[in-house]
Amino acid sequence: MTNIPVYQSLAQSLSDHKVEALFGLMGDANLFMVDHWVRQHEGHFVSVAHEGSAVLMAMGYAHVTGGIGVATVTHGPAVTNCVTALVEGVKGRVPIVLLAGDTPAENLLHHQNVDQREIFKSTGAGFVQMRSPATSTQDLAKAFYRAGAERRPVVLNMPVDFMWEAAGDQAAPLAPFKQPQGIAQTDIVDEAVGMIASARRPLILAGVGACDAKDALVALADRLEAPLATTIRGKGLFSDHPYSIDVFGTVSTPAAYDVMAKSDCVVAFGAGLHYYTTDHGKLLKNKRLVQVDIDPAAVGRGIHPDAALIADAGPAAELILHWINEAEIPPSGFTAELDQAMLRHHPAPTRKTPDGHVNYVHALEALEEALPKDRIIVTDVGRFMTEIWARMSVPDPRSFIPATNFTCIGLGLQEAIGAAVAKPDRTVVAICGDGGFMLGGLNELHTAIRLGLNMVIVIANDSAYGAEHIQFENRQMDPTASHLHWPGFADVAQSMGAQVARVDGPETLEEAVDLLRTREGVLLIELVLDPGDMPPLRK
């Protein structure tokens, strides 16, 4: 790499880091790097319409692959356009690297000059400054290492005036970060095992941080005769287990909620104990809580545990099982009390839907049956989302992306596109509200169509900002201010080249299901909903 320009050394480094897809929008500071990576290293560059979309697509890619997503933008307004997406990634602890250009340091009057370090720091993202042309490869490697180690977006800030400078000879970069696996026995392990052994009704709870520890957690649960549950982000981990109660929290079935209420000890692995998960703390009240997490900062963030193990989920579960066996602790018998048929049964809604609309829950149930079982589901934010979390299934946690970490509408479709680029052989289902789709989805709909992605996009169109509609009605106020009249989403999507279905009743719902079986590329299904017929938001 002696004397090649920095833009070429960066392209080579992307190849060396085995980057297979790069999401971005080209500008002064990154266009030569992107062009060289595509032409000389056969890179797959996914061009986007908005810079924030590049970050979100990289996040979706990282989620389904379990690796590090990569995005690139230029400087100034391109950077400010990424702020919301970066906050979503920080809150969701998604490892991506953002290669961001910067204006020349010597030109303080450049129209796009802003203090990019402070902007990025305000989002909570990690920041690596490219120090010089001679350190460009090392600085990029540092960004990759930190993204893996810190489980968050990390930005490499690249001055545009470095790009045509000689990179020179550079030292070998850092090796990729690898998560530590071991756990030593301590007094805390003894204390945790004691709590679990003395429980009459233990329950195993797993979050996305435990998605690679399924076998160890199932072995522990079976030995204890304890039911299994997941957080929302861990959904699908135990989908094939007879005593899985699916999601622990406010979207649970009535029978599962009863199981959670009866349990006396919850052993949580890699789980963020959010207020959705704990029903604002009520589901953990008067229970022993053992929390296992590789991140010390995650312990006690939501609920203070009775015992905490700083460890990877798999080795910790294996160690707990070892000491349960060594002490010859009898199984609890909790699962023998459970009615398997009811654990995942959600009550059916009453049919009160007016003509010209489709019942939302019935539509979800039809999609649940018709979509491929190995689907990937991505949800945006809105009134509609909790029924999806409750009623639709996924094969594993990497196949489920709730784009809700910042509770910002308009981020879901972009993450779904990243997932579809990563997994072209699987159907990616993006479910968005009408307001969120208009805010952030419509500008990338053409990206999905242009790429010919294997996607089904479902728009829950109640012609309103649904959460606001509920608040007006709950206070017996006129909800008209929350009502909106969008253009026909199916018509717009069809004009862009997508297959479409407009569902406004049982007959058109059947037609949409039939179209699912014959579709090619992107299919957009517009569900015409009555804002007064939507289920209440579960929270």
CATH number at 466 reads: 3.40.50.970
More confident residue, 101 or 468: 101
Q: Are residues 336 and 369 in the same domain?
A: no
DSSP SS3 for 450: helix
Q: Are residues 469 and 504 in the same domain?
A: yes
> Looking at the domain assignment, is residue 415 inside a domain?
yes
Q: Are residues 33 and 151 in the same domain?
A: yes
pTM for the predicted model, two decimal places: 0.92
Across 140-149, 161-170, 367-376, 417-426, least confident range: 161-170
Q: Are residues 399 and 306 in the same domain?
A: no
pLDDT value of position 182: 58
> Looking at the domain assignment, is residue 149 inside a domain?
yes
The arrangement of strands across the sheet holding 228-230 comes to 244-247, 228-230, 202-206, 265-269, 288-293, 307-310
8 A C-beta contact, residue 165 and residue 5: yes
Q: Are residues 299 and 397 in the same domain?
A: no
pLDDT value of position 433: 93
Region 292-296: what's the mean pLDDT?
88
Region 91-113: what's the mean pLDDT?
88
Q: Are residues 191 and 318 in the same domain?
A: yes
Q: Are residues 392 and 434 in the same domain?
A: yes
Domain that holds residue 40: 6-162
Residue 452 gets the label, from left (phi > 0), alpha (psi -120 to 50) or beta, of: left
Domain end residue (candidates: 162, 179, 208):
162
Q: Are residues 31 and 95 in the same domain?
A: yes
Across 69-78, 196-205, 252-261, least confident range: 252-261
Indicate whether 171 pLDDT > 90: no
d(CA 386, CA 383): 7
Q: Are residues 420 and 328 in the same domain?
A: no
The candidate with the shortest Cα–Cα distance to 195, out of 299, 309, 298, is 309
Q: What CATH number did the domain enclosing 212 receive?
A: 3.40.50.1220
pLDDT in tens, 5-17: 999 999 999 999 9
Q: Are residues 325 and 368 in the same domain?
A: no
Indicate whether 301 pLDDT > 90: no
> Looking at the domain assignment, is residue 355 inside a domain?
no
Domain end residue (candidates: 123, 145, 162):
162
Neighbouring residues of 108: CB distance < 8 A, sequence distance ≥ 6:
none
8 A C-beta contact, residue 150 and residue 295: no
pLDDT value of position 185: 53
Residue 150 tokens, joined: 């810190």
> Looking at the domain assignment, is residue 347 inside a domain?
no
Q: Are residues 153 and 286 in the same domain?
A: no
More confident residue, 423 or 112: 423
CA torsion through residues 61, 62, 67, 71, sign: positive
The candidate with the shortest Cα–Cα distance to 128, out of 150, 161, 106, is 150
DSSP SS3 for 428: strand
Domain end residue (candidates: 146, 162, 178):
162
> Looking at the domain assignment, is residue 352 inside a domain?
no
d(CA 231, CA 501): 33
Q: How confident is the model at residue 471 (pLDDT cuts 50, 70, 90)?
A: confident
pLDDT in tens, 342-364: 888 888 776 678 889 999 999 99
More confident residue, 172 or 264: 264
Indicate whether 169 pLDDT > 90: no
Q: Are residues 314 and 369 in the same domain?
A: no
The candidate with the shortest Cα–Cα distance to 35, out of 72, 81, 60, 82, is 72
> Looking at the domain assignment, is residue 177 inside a domain?
no
Indicate whether 529 pLDDT > 80: yes
8 A C-beta contact, residue 331 and residue 337: no
> Looking at the domain assignment, is residue 354 inside a domain?
no
**Structural domain count, the chain:** 3
**How many helices and strands in the chain, by DSSP H and E?**
21, 18
> Looking at the domain assignment, is residue 168 inside a domain?
no
Q: How confident is the model at residue 291 (pLDDT cuts 50, 70, 90)?
A: very high
pLDDT value of position 395: 96
d(CA 520, CA 323): 53
Q: How confident is the model at residue 112 (pLDDT cuts 50, 70, 90)?
A: confident
